[in-house]
Amino acid sequence: MAPSQKVTVDIDAIPLAVALIGVDAQVAAANSRLVSMIGRDPSGQALLGFVDERDRVDLGHLLARPGGIGRIELRLCARAPMNAVVRMVPADGGLRLAFFEPTADDGPLGDIATQAFEVLGQGIVIGDGTRILAATPSAARLFGRSVEELLEIGSLF
């Protein structure tokens, strides 16, 4: 049997949204895909900090498992709240890699559509007639509000 070798992984090279989770459940590092997905860099923050409070107990149970590995579906507190599947696998030194994958029911826009929506740079608001489902930052500026405020006010009409 060959001696074990330490492998270093560049998380930015992984084509999925990934975070490196420390033994204290803090995000040690996040790749650019995760930062883009949730709209901020969670590095140095508690993993529970960007998970909807309704899912924090379940995530806590996952983190408490021996090795802290497994799969969970939860809601992320992102630019626009989204549902995601999180899979955790062990890494060296008691660390874990957490892979985040948006689920199909994460809102009115799918993953590719969301990315296209964000890079358009135009003032676009999507609604269902009774509430605003999504808005670009340019649209928010036109109305003198943040995207979060637009999502909370309901219909523009």
Percentage of the chain modeled with pLDDT above 70: 76
pLDDT of 26 > 90? The answer is yes
Mean pLDDT of the chain: 78
Give the tens place of pLDDT for each residue, 33-67: 899 888 889 999 999 988 989 899 988 888 888 76
Average of pLDDT values for 122-142? 75
pLDDT of 126 > 80? The answer is no
Give the dihedral of Cα atoms 44, 48, 49, 52; nearest 10 deg: 150
Q: Which of 16-20, 54-58, 104-108, 153-157 is predicted with the least confidence, judged by mean pLDDT?
A: 104-108
pLDDT of 141 > 80? The answer is yes
pLDDT band per the 50, 70, 90 thresholds, residue 109? very low
Tokens encoding 109: 């826009």
pTM above 0.95, yes or no: no
